[in-house]
Chain A
Amino acid sequence: MLESVQQTQTADVTPTTLAAVSAFAEPTHLRWAHLQPAGRALLVATVGLYVSAILLGPLAALGVELAHVGLGATLQALAKPNAIAALKMSLVLTAISVVVNTVVGTLGALAIVRQRFWGRALVNALADLPLAVSPVMIGLAFILLVGRDGWLAPVLDRIGLKVMFSFTGLVIATLFVALPYTLREVVYVLEELGTSEEEAAATLGASPWQVFWRVTLPNIRFGLGYGVLMALARSLGEFGAVLVLGGSISGQTQTATTFIHDALEERETAGAYGMAVVLALTSVVLLLGLEWAKRQKKVGRP
């Protein structure tokens, strides 16, 4: 009995499939029979309440509230030009961010992991910083840089580039907040991977270009995919920084999230809930993608 338990346990230290996860649950359950049933029940109840209060309840409430407002009214509110413009703006920003971050994330991670250069650790740390900085402060920081009295104001004036309350501002804000996700993910995968497959390819006559496309990229693809989906989610959902830098001008610099904010201020609940549900559903789809990529990453490891 004990032996079989141990086997299942060891086999599942790194579960690769959900089937495996549930397979090892039964013995664990038995092994922990010594924990008083009351204590167990209390623990499970606490966790259940916690997750319900924070996550499941609010998710359900939004659905119920949407039904309350009515699908017709919601769709009508979403069909208005400013709602469509806001959604379109968010999609464009997200698309730009995804493209830029895929490239920067891959190349940056390759440079950080595979090359030795002065300031490498600093760049690595810098790329992580957007995670630690509040979006509002990011907005403020850019105002101080590109705003009316900002450091770069004279330069921007001369070349006639308007950043504040403009598309450019929105792009910069989105790129900033989404920067760490692909980069970090690829850095992690590259470190795990090591260099021996790339070296093997080189000894077999592959050029650096061939090594990248035929060996490195296929090996990082799921990690990269995971990072890109994270960057996508973050870009789509960014609020504070695009609000400060973009100003949420309806039909111009309003994004899906700032649209919700403004709709709530104006008590346009149908539009706000509708847009919120659109974003929430999108993030559920993204979540499925993230789970898939996560599982592929694990399967892909030897």
Chain B
Amino acid sequence: MTSTAHALAPNRAERLVRSAVVLYIALLVAVPLLALLSFGLSGGTHALVEALRSPVARSALWLTVWTSSVVAVLNTLLGTATAWVLVRYKLPGRAVLSALIDLPLAIPTLVAGLMLAVLYGPLTWLGHGLEARGMPIIFAPPGIVLALMFVTLPFVIRAVEPVLLEIDPAEEEAARILGAGPLRTFQTVFLPAIGPAALSAGIRSLGRALGEFGAIVIVAGNIPFRTLTAPVYIFGEIESGTPRAAAAVSVLLLLLALALHGLAGFIERRIGARHA
């Protein structure tokens, strides 16, 4: 073996640096997550089930799962529509809007929650009016949905945009020449291309929504059985010194998040995309 001749083969220093980086990532990421998993599962499934028997925990989990699912679906549909409008229609201020779409990636989630709480809170005519008509947003599930929609806003848009830009106009023209209507064209030309991208981004927004804490904690009000989501419940249990209950719910959410993460990654590798 004459590996010395290989031009870009790592030398000793490079291998040393690599070991250090690998160690850093392992210590920072793998070890704590293993600690969480092992603690959460240490009592066996029985203890896990026992901890989840708590009605508060169950309702918190259920609230998180259904609001996140609603958000994932809305985000997939509306995100695709937004990408469509941004790419294909000439609208004034589009460049600014396109840049603003990334704001949720740059703004602290807590600040996002605060902004929503201000707009939909009792202080503005909007929030006041909605509440007066029996549709409270803040301290209610719709507020949670809005907060989750904010933090996941760019996911689907940014995944679909490049795919839309890459579709060969000739394909679309061919479909039109062959007599396909707008809907049929969308189905045959666009959907197969943007579908997987939108789907994987939708799955990512579900995963993100399941774990969101900062944006929700202000908006939701955290009332047990009504607006207490699972991450906030976990936080409460940590604060009150009952890590067992916190770990049980965490492990459940963590496994779910990892599964979704893996699934989205699988789809992205199949279509050669990358995620935001």
B178 within 8 A of A: no
CB within 8 A of B29: which of A58, A130, A134, A272?
A130
Asked if residues A22 and B90 are in contact (CB atoms below 8 Å), the reply is yes
Return chain A residues, CB-CB under 8 Å to B36: 137, 140-141, 144
Asked if residues A145 and B108 are in contact (CB atoms below 8 Å), the reply is no
Return chain A residues, CB-CB under 8 Å to B132: none
Asked if residues B214 and A257 are in contact (CB atoms below 8 Å), the reply is yes
How distant is the Cα of A290 from the Cα of B101 in the complex, in angstroms? Answer: 12
CB within 8 A of B150: which of A58, A131, A179, A291?
A58
Given contacts A144-B247, A257-B110, are A134 and B211 in contact (CB under 8 A)? yes
Return chain B residues, CB-CB under 8 Å to A65: 118, 123
Return chain B residues, CB-CB under 8 Å to A210: none
Asked if residues A280 and B102 are in contact (CB atoms below 8 Å), the reply is no
A4 within 8 A of B: no
CB contact list, B122-142 vs A, under 8 A: 123-124, 126
CB within 8 A of A129: which of B24, B29, B253?
B29
Return chain A residues, CB-CB under 8 Å to B102: 287, 290-291
Residue of B nearest to A187 (CB): B274
Asked if residues B89 and A13 are in contact (CB atoms below 8 Å), the reply is no
Return chain A residues, CB-CB under 8 Å to B95: 18, 21-22
A250 within 8 A of B: no
CB within 8 A of B250: which of A132, A140, A237?
A140
How distant is the Cα of A233 from the Cα of B105 in the complex, in angstroms? Answer: 8
CB contact list, A86-133 vs B, under 8 A: 104, 107-108, 110-111, 114-115, 117, 119, 123, 126-133
B258 within 8 A of A: yes
Asked if residues A51 and B7 are in contact (CB atoms below 8 Å), the reply is no
Asked if residues A32 and B88 are in contact (CB atoms below 8 Å), the reply is yes
Asked if residues B78 and A46 are in contact (CB atoms below 8 Å), the reply is yes
Asked if residues A133 and B109 are in contact (CB atoms below 8 Å), the reply is no
B53 within 8 A of A: no
19 chain-A/chain-B pairs, Cβ below 8 angstroms: A5-B169, A13-B165, A47-B82, A51-B101, A55-B100, A55-B153, A61-B119, A111-B14, A126-B26, A129-B258, A134-B210, A135-B214, A136-B211, A136-B234, A144-B36, A233-B106, A260-B110, A272-B114, A290-B106
Residues of A within 8 A of B (CB): 2, 5-6, 9-10, 12-15, 18, 21-22, 25-26, 28-29, 31-32, 34-36, 39-40, 43-44, 46-47, 50-51, 53-62, 65, 104, 107-108, 110-111, 114-115, 117, 119, 123, 126-145, 150-151, 172, 175-176, 179, 184, 188, 195, 198-199, 202-203, 208, 230, 233, 236-240, 243-244, 256-257, 260-261, 264, 272-273, 276, 279-280, 283-284, 286-288, 290-291
Residues of B within 8 A of A (CB): 7-8, 10-11, 14-15, 17-18, 20-22, 24-26, 28-33, 35-36, 39, 78, 81-82, 84-85, 88-91, 94-95, 97, 99-112, 114-116, 118-119, 123-124, 126, 146, 149-150, 153, 165-166, 169-170, 173, 176, 182, 207-208, 210-214, 217-218, 231-232, 234-235, 238, 243, 246-247, 250, 253-254, 257-258, 260-261, 265, 274
